[in-house]
Amino acid sequence: MTAFQPGQATVFTTIDEIQRMTSALRKTARPVVLVPTMGALHAGHISLVKAAQRIPGAVVVVSIFVNPLQFAEGEDLDAYPRTLEADVEKLRAAGADAVFAPTPREMYPNGPRTVIHPGEVGTILEGASRPTHFAGVLTVVNKLFQITHCSHAIFGEKDYQQLIVIQQMVTDLNLDVQVIGAPIVREADGLAMSSRNTYLSADERELALTLSAALTSGAYVAGKGPDAVVAAARAVIDAVPSIELDYLELRGPNLGAVDPEGANRLLVAARVGTTRLIDNIGIDFGSEEVTGQPRD
């Protein structure tokens, strides 16, 4: 049995061990806060750990698992960066309490037999391009919730649609977990932090700034209404023909119809070279404040 050392990012690799540890902690009334990741950690992930640590009495468990169920054939499952040793060092420096790093066989000993369907919200935006993606996400997240006995879970708003489908699952399946969204963390030049940024060449890294620039341009004209927001953002992307746009859409806060007098989300996905990137920004037509805007 792995000896648990609070604040030392103790690594657990089996379901049995992490279940025993977290079950014992929950019996002492301490909240177990899960931060699910696929590894290749960067400052954005560490910000999620810090958000988890702000919950009083929290025991912070970070899962590191490259989930094969959410990758379709031809996607970057094999190439996805795996840096467990470096990740654990970063989590230890951040004061995380535990790391759950299972193998695919540990998580799916019988193969992918049972999956959770995301419903209609899983068929739009990312779901239109990656039709099996959110079923894979929800299945692994539900398993992680059960395995870790978590009371709270932290997800970044960069994967905004993922956050929405997970919140929907928690509501619809009556799961006793509080899902918390954390703000997007950006590089100094505005690029949303992502593990996939490491795929970009120097020139592609510069081109990738087009996405955050487009979102910012849309946000700056929010006072002119929804059509102006989308048009301004699209103009920025159209000016860079080498960027292959997948979608650019303005949606309501739950990804439904736009609220012309309230909070909404402008979302983009595009390929820069061979790398597919996503980003989003919050726009409230009832306020001058812009959520998720890249900072100077």
CA distance 265 to 263: 7
**Run of H or E including 29:** none
pLDDT in tens, the chain (296 residues): 788 999 999 999 999 999 999 999 999 999 999 999 999 999 999 999 999 999 999 999 999 999 999 998 888 899 898 999 999 999 999 999 999 999 999 999 999 899 999 999 999 999 999 999 999 999 999 999 999 999 999 999 999 999 999 999 999 999 999 999 999 999 999 999 999 999 999 999 999 999 999 999 999 999 999 999 999 999 999 999 999 999 999 999 999 999 999 999 999 999 999 999 999 999 999 875 555 444 33
Tokens describing residue 181: 């969204």
pLDDT of residue 291: 53
Q: What is the CATH number of domain 195-284?
A: 3.30.1300.10
Catalytic pick among 45, 133, 149, 152: 45
Domain pair 10-182 / 195-284, same fold: no
pLDDT of residue 296: 36
Q: What's this model's pTM, rounded to 2 decimal places?
A: 0.94
3-state class (DSSP) for residue 186: strand
**Run of H or E including 82:** none
Q: Does domain 10-182 have CATH number 3.30.930.10?
A: no
Residues 25, 27, 28, 34, CA torsion sign: positive
pLDDT of residue 288: 59
The annotated binding site for (R)-pantoate is made up of 70, 162
pLDDT of residue 79: 86
3-state class (DSSP) for residue 294: coil
Q: Where does the chain show beta strands of DSSP type E?
A: 10-12, 32-37, 59-64, 98-100, 152-156, 178-182, 243-251, 263-272, 275-284, 290-291
Active site residue 149: no
3-state class (DSSP) for residue 262: coil
Half-sphere exposure of 244 (CA within 13 A, CB side): 6
| Bridge pairing between strands 10-12 and 32-37 | unpaired
Delimit the domains of the chain by residue range.
10-182, 195-284
